Amino acid sequence: MPPVKTQMKRSRRAAAPPSGSWATAVDEPPMAEPSAPVVTADVEGEAGNVTAAVVSIDVGALLNRGGELAQAGLWLQSLRAFDSAAQAEPGNAKAHEQRAQVLLQIGRPLEAVQAAGTACTLRPEWGDGRRTLARAQLDHGEVALALSSFDAALGLLL
């Protein structure tokens, strides 16, 4: 089997959105600049023949990058970073909770309920996760469930 060749392209630095406005999925520019490497690979083998590869993903860097993108209003790029973090480390409640917050911002409350629910299952004692679940439930129209989740969040946060 011939070796697979890959090529990476760098994107140009995008202009920041106008002050006081929210970027939307339509006008969202490409990722502003490459962040610190979050994926590393150790490859063993002879020329062209890979026998083993160990891939390491820096979930903390993905979470930080997702937060930076969210603060810049780049919701879809932020969602991709949080998706990657949640896939790389499925037991990371923070990745799921932050993913839920972005899903709320882009108008996908059902998916936000699912993501926040996962965060609460992973860390039932985490009041911030419970509060995000309540917000998602409320946005989805589940008022009774949202009130219950807000009550639980208050109990955990106070």
pTM greater than 0.75 (yes/no):
no
How far is it, in rounded angstroms, from Cα 51 to Cα 44? 6
How far is it, in rounded angstroms, from Cα 21 to Cα 2? 50
| 100-124: pLDDT as tens digits | 999 999 999 999 999 999 999 999 9
Residue 62 vs residues 58, 80, 82, 98, 131: alpha-carbon distances, Å? 7, 9, 7, 11, 23
- Per-residue pLDDT band for 56 (boundaries 50, 70, 90) equals confident
Q: Which CATH architecture has domain 59-155?
A: Alpha Horseshoe (1.25)
Residue with tokens 């879809």, as numbered in its chain: 76
Where are the chain's structural domains?
A: 59-155
Q: Which phi and psi angles does 56 have, rounded to 5°? A: -120, 130
Q: Does residue 21 have a pLDDT over 50?
A: no
